[in-house]
Structure 1
């Protein structure tokens, strides 16, 4: 009897090792095929928590600057760069080959690429969101197999109105369509209200997350004057989402904006305390009335005052950014 029991235990152990690997039994996370979500955290394909520290780059409006901008961004120590793309509805389309080239260059510079479609910004109609979905499906050859280094931000600031219910209804249709097309990359969903209505995530984020068959969706707040204007606002908005058990990043933030100040130091400080990733807007090229949002003076230019804060502050990129496991 004792001998049989020992064999049974041994067989069980062998089975567990075959299924989960030695790493899983020693407390180390097993390797995965790509980024994945667990609780409020995003993990890379090596099983390490991944906290985004980086910037936005307005590629679709400055297509010729890619080879200068990406290495310059990498020199800041950024582990992530969010790339503005177009599906051709409002701006010049970025085709599959150009997207493959972007991914390759970002990868060579040891950063994770977050790709976003900008043409649906501020729009409320489902057709605009669906056009973004169709774009991702049309370029899925650039995404499939790159789940360990490419994250898909479905549509920049889709749903401009502060209406969480309608926002959620849209994404509950959109996400299954992406998954059914075979796109398995981690997804990012921006809050309603031009990204500045975090209550939409608090109220309806769990239902949107449940619509993802892979349970691999991260939510994003864009922190300008209405979502990140004060220390208390920043803290409350981050905690509101995290307390719902949902993963969060700050997909955009500035130091000020059209209708008021933004507490960028609070965003970086609480981001560090709470393990929330952030991506500052934007590397360069903002309109003259928004030039204070420029982090650099050009694609490979010197840092501006705002850029110096984002890169060199105590809670900035250089002090807090850790590369994804595939690059270590």
Structure 2
């Protein structure tokens, strides 16, 4: 979230204290504004004929030859509800400090899966308008195709390729600024829901074909390619480099989505391998074994409590010189994923996730490609104000698939789930007689119940005496009384706490 120097924000910059990889953030959210760095520009290789971003070795450069490290967010321009909410958020994304945004795009499927199409950018003209608005606010747009998520069908990547070829009118127009993420999270190990088998070889070969088709169609933008298995898994470096070297432009960045499979450095529960990576050793591998740039295109510990906490993950990304894009600015499917609390109003305070992410955006450097004046920035979000008397209402437990195959899930039924559940950032479960608490990250709502996913298997806690701690997005805390963790039991808020 890149911002250029303006006298109106110098005071906010001075109020931010940068220490190592962390930045002390005031309750209102304070982000430094960094102008483009001045250094000797890198020369574009002769084989790269683009007028936009380009790659040399492990480094991404902007069109002027300045080194560019992405620091930003994902923003929803596809399924979010509201006629203009996604466009209205752009100035606030810029205000936060982001120098890059990953624009979630898609197309209407064969069935009309959206009841309310307002605010959903279905047309080429609408998507062009989104990109133009980011450019106006000096934010680099990484445009992404979401329809192929989770599929192993090569036809879905062909669909993505055709989608981008159809967008080439504005991709060429904004070649200087825009980067293309071919598809979100295509290809997984095993068999997908449609019966297609996935493999590292399929991922490699399909993307080689996709890159060739895009280049043949005249799309010269830098390409971003998500890794295999929901973007989370590292495969042998040779697969990535085969795709990279197939590109006549040599202009590809590889993206890794860092959720539950990316765990805290030194965590003894996990061994580095196909399913899990300690963040430090995983990044060591990517930054030494791949002769191409890498980024973390998604991460969110609120949605994946078993993974590495966001502050530690961000510190590791920074120390490894790896760009990153937090998931996400807002998301109508769950408040836990928000940078800002309310998707309908980006001037709201930063949610807990935002309070972690925004300080790291203070390091973002603006790309040197923007020539127009930056519009006046909006006012900073207001300070959070915890409520000492917050009472989210009574809880009752409904066990949800706590099985050997899926032991991490729990549902909590609340008296006022529709009004309150979205306010909850996380829940901690405290067994009686233990000082250790189990973190439960919120995972959307279902039939009046709030879903939670834990960072620990829950088998041993069924029928135990426990209580819950509930944390509101604004910092308010409530605690229940102790009760037995069994189906249907009620947990009353402890009014004496």
Verify same fold: TM over 0.5: yes
Q: Which residue in 1 is equivalent to 2:352?
A: 305
Q: Which residue in 1 is equivalent to 2:329?
A: 283
Distance in 2, matches of 1:266 and 1:141, equals 41
**Partners of 1:223 and 1:252 within 8 A in 2:** yes
Distance in 1, matches of 2:65 and 2:312, equals 29
Alignment partner of 1:60 is 2:78: yes
Give SS of 2:336's match: helix
Give SS of 2:89's match: helix
Q: Which residue in 1 is equivalent to 2:309?
A: 263
Report the structure number with the largest CA radius of gyration: 2
Distance in 2, matches of 1:307 and 1:294, equals 7
Name the CA shift for 1:239/1:89 in 2 (closer, same or farther; >3 Å).
farther
**Partners of 2:76 and 2:86 within 8 A in 1:** no
Q: Which residue in 2 is equivalent to 1:273?
A: 319
| Alpha-carbon offset, residue 280 of structure 1 | 0.2
- May I ask how many residue pairs the two structures share in their alignment? 295
Residue 327 of structure 1 is aligned with which of 367, 370, 376?
A: 370
User: For 1:76-225, what aligned pairs fall within 5 Å after superposition?
Assistant: 76-89=96-109, 94-161=122-189, 163-199=199-235, 202-225=237-260
Distance in 1, matches of 2:263 and 2:158, equals 32
Distance in 2, matches of 1:317 and 1:259, equals 22
Distance in 1, matches of 2:73 and 2:283, equals 19
**Partners of 2:121 and 2:127 within 8 A in 1:** no
Distance in 2, matches of 1:140 and 1:298, equals 34
Q: Which residue in 2 is equivalent to 1:235?
A: 280
Name stretches of at least 5 consecutive residues in structure 2 with no aligned partner: 1-38, 45-49, 114-119, 191-198, 267-277, 372-497
Q: Which has the higher contact order (CA 8 A, sep 6+)?
A: 1
Distance in 1, matches of 2:42 and 2:174, equals 20
Name the CA shift for 1:59/1:103 in 2 (closer, same or farther; >3 Å).
same
Give SS of 2:126's match: helix
Name the CA shift for 1:55/1:93 in 2 (closer, same or farther; >3 Å).
closer
TM value normalised by structure 1: 0.85
Distance in 1, matches of 2:84 and 2:212, equals 35
TM value normalised by structure 2: 0.57
Q: Answer 1 or 2: which has greater helix percent.
A: 1
Name stretches of at least 5 consecutive residues in structure 1 with no aligned partner: 1-25
| Alpha-carbon offset, residue 83 of structure 1 | 0.5
